[in-house]
């Protein structure tokens, strides 16, 4: 058992070392830009990636707040499209599971908003349809990917690839990326708050 744990951790470390720092930085910058411009951010993902989408939405919406009761503080406008069971099952049952994200986005997404896809394979039809809908209205698209990126890699404006074929490690690192981004933006907001107090 100890050998298994050690091997898993070592593989995880090696995979993290091979995630592009530049691609990660660009994703952070794009998300922060969306926040500064008061754009909506929509998150889509299946299975474990749906859970990551929910977690990321929580961290951005609440975790980045500096003054929770200050009505003047700019807030993130983030929605995980994986969270409404009623609408997911309605579209899945009445239309197709392939449409669960694209149909929700058609109600909400606007030009200049952001859609972030979190997916291991990059080939799930509902993810691809969601990205297609986002692109059609002029939304910015970002993806956190695994394996070789799949079809999604060629559909988005920017992606961060976890170079692994192990779903567990891919999802581990996707969560690390979400925590990294939330933590960085929290620090940026703290700095901005400190700068504002000086004037």
Please say if the pLDDT value at position 48 is more than 90: yes
User: pLDDT tens-digit profile of 129-177?
Assistant: 999 999 999 999 999 999 999 999 999 999 999 999 999 999 999 999 9
Confidence band (pLDDT; 50, 70, 90) for 67? Answer: confident
Give the strand pairing for 140-145 and 114-118: parallel
Supply the pLDDT for residue 198.
58
Q: Please, what's the largest Cα pairwise distance for the chain?
A: 58
CATH number at residue 26: 3.40.50.10490
pTM, two decimals, is 0.95
For residue 41, report the phi and psi dihedrals to the nearest 5 degrees: -125, 125
Number of domains forming the structure of the chain: 1
Residue 120, token pair as written in the block = 């291991």
What mean pLDDT is reported for the chain? 95
Please say if the pLDDT value at position 4 is more than 80: yes
Supply the pLDDT for residue 11.
96
Residue 103 burial class via C-beta count within 10 angstroms: exposed 0-12, middle 13-18, buried 19 and up? buried
Domain residues for 95?
Answer: 2-197
Distance in angstroms (rounded) separating the CA atoms of residues 72 and 177: 28
Mean pLDDT for the stretch of residues 67-93: 94
59 bridge partner residues: none
Distance in angstroms (rounded) separating the CA atoms of residues 182 and 188: 10
Mean pLDDT for the stretch of residues 115-124: 98
Confidence band (pLDDT; 50, 70, 90) for 196? Answer: low
Supply the pLDDT for residue 197.
60
> Residue 149 contacts by C-beta under 8 Å, 6 or more apart in sequence?
122, 143, 159, 161
Supply the pLDDT for residue 120.
97
Rg (CA), the chain: 17
């Amino acid at each position: 058992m100890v050998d298994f744990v050690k091997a898993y951790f070592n593989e995880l470390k090696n995979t993290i070392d091979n995630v592009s720092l530049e691609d990660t930085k660009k994703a952070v910058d794009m998300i922060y830009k969306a926040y500064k411009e008061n754009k909506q951010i929509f998150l889509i993902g299946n299975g474990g990636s749906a859970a990551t989408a929910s977690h990321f939405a929580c961290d951005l919406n609440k975790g980045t707040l500096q003054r929770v009761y200050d009505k003047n503080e700019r807030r993130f406008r983030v929605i995980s499209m994986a969270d409404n069971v009623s609408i997911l099952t309605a579209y899945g049952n009445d239309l197709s599971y392939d449409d669960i994200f694209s149909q929700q986005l058609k109600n909400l997404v606007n030009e200049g908003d952001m859609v972030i896809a979190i997916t291991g394979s990059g080939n799930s039809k509902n993810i691809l349809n969601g990205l297609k809908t986002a692109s059609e209205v002029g939304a910015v698209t970002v993806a956190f990917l695994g394996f070789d990126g799949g079809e999604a890699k060629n559909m988005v404006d920017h992606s961060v690839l976890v170079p692994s074929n192990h779903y567990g490690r891919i999802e581990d690192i996707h969560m690390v990326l979400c925590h990294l981004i939330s933590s960085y933006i929290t620090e940026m907001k703290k700095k901005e708050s400190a700068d504002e107090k000086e004037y």
